[in-house]
A and B are shown apart, each in its own frame.
Chain A
Amino acid sequence: MTNLILIVIGAVLVNNFVLSRFLGICPFLGVSKKVETATGMGMAVIFVMTLASMITWVVQYTLLEPFNLDYLKTITFILVIAALVQLVEMTVQKIAPPLYEALGIYLPLITTNCAVLGAALINIQEKYSFLEATVFGFASAIGFTLAIVIFAGLRERIELCEVPESMKGVPIAFITAGILALAFLGFAGLVK
Chain B
Amino acid sequence: MSILLSSIIIVGGLGLLASVGLSIASIYLSIEVDPRVEKVESALPGANCGGCGYPGCSGYAKAVVLNDADISLCAPGGQGTIELLAQIMDKKVQLKEKLVARVHCNGTDANCERKMVYEGMKSCRAAYLLTDSTKKCLYGCEGLGDCVASCSFDAIVMGPGRIPIVNEAKCTSCGKCVEACPKNLITLEPEKTRLYIACSNPEKAKAVKDACKVGCIACGLCEKKCPKGAITIENGNPVWDHKKCDNLGVCAAVCPTGAIHDIRKMIPKAHIDPKKCTGKGECVKVCPVRKCIEGEEGKTHKVNKDLCCGCGLCVPVCPEKAITLKEGKAKLQKTA
A-side residues, CB < 8 A to B, are 59, 63-64, 67-69, 72, 75-76, 79-80, 82-83, 86-87, 90-91, 93-94
Q: How far is the CB of B44 from chain A (nearest CB, A)?
A: 21
Can you list 17 A-B contacts (CB < 8 A)?
A: A59-B14, A67-B7, A67-B10, A72-B10, A72-B11, A79-B14, A79-B15, A79-B18, A80-B14, A83-B19, A83-B22, A87-B21, A87-B22, A87-B25, A93-B29, A93-B31, A94-B29
Tell whether B67 is near chain A: CB-to-CB under 8 Å.
no
Q: How far is the CB of A83 from chain B (nearest CB, A)?
A: 4
- Is there an interface contact between A76 and B31, defined as CB atoms closer than 8 Å? no
Distance in angstroms between the alpha carbons of A18 and B33 in the assembled complex: 37
- Count of A-B contacts with CB under 8 A? 45
Contacts of A87 in B (CB 8 A): 21-22, 25
Contacts of B11 in A (CB 8 A): 69, 72, 75-76, 79
Tell whether B129 is near chain A: CB-to-CB under 8 Å.
no
- Is there an interface contact between B26 and A90, defined as CB atoms closer than 8 Å? yes
Contacts of A79 in B (CB 8 A): 11, 14-15, 18
- Is there an interface contact between B3 and A68, defined as CB atoms closer than 8 Å? yes
Contacts of A86 in B (CB 8 A): 22
Distance in angstroms between the alpha carbons of A72 and B3 in the assembled complex: 11
In the complex, the chain A residue whose C-beta lies closest to that of B3 is A68
**Chain A contact surface mostly:** helix
Top 8 nearest A-B pairs (CB, nearest first) are A83-B18, A90-B29, A67-B6, A94-B29, A63-B10, A69-B7, A86-B22, A87-B25
**Chain B contact surface mostly:** helix
Distance in angstroms between the alpha carbons of A154 and B271 in the assembled complex: 65
Distance in angstroms between the alpha carbons of A83 and B3 in the assembled complex: 25
Q: How far is the CB of A80 from chain B (nearest CB, A)?
A: 7
B268-322 contacts to A (CB < 8 Å): none
Contacts of B10 in A (CB 8 A): 63-64, 67, 69, 72, 76
Distance in angstroms between the alpha carbons of A83 and B25 in the assembled complex: 11
In the complex, the chain B residue whose C-beta lies closest to that of A91 is B29
B1-49 contacts to A (CB < 8 Å): 1, 3, 6-7, 10-11, 14-15, 18-19, 21-22, 25-26, 29, 31
Q: How far is the CB of B54 from chain A (nearest CB, A)?
A: 14
- Is there an interface contact between A90 and B7, defined as CB atoms closer than 8 Å? no
Distance in angstroms between the alpha carbons of A75 and B21 in the assembled complex: 19
Contacts of A90 in B (CB 8 A): 25-26, 29
Q: A59-B14, A87-B21 are in contact. Are A94 and B7 (CB under 8 A)?
A: no
Q: How far is the CB of B59 from chain A (nearest CB, A)?
A: 12
- Is there an interface contact between A72 and B7, defined as CB atoms closer than 8 Å? yes
- Is there an interface contact between A69 and B22, defined as CB atoms closer than 8 Å? no
Q: A69-B3, A69-B10 are in contact. Are A80 and B18 (CB under 8 A)?
A: yes
Contacts of B18 in A (CB 8 A): 79-80, 82-83
Contacts of B14 in A (CB 8 A): 59, 63, 76, 79-80
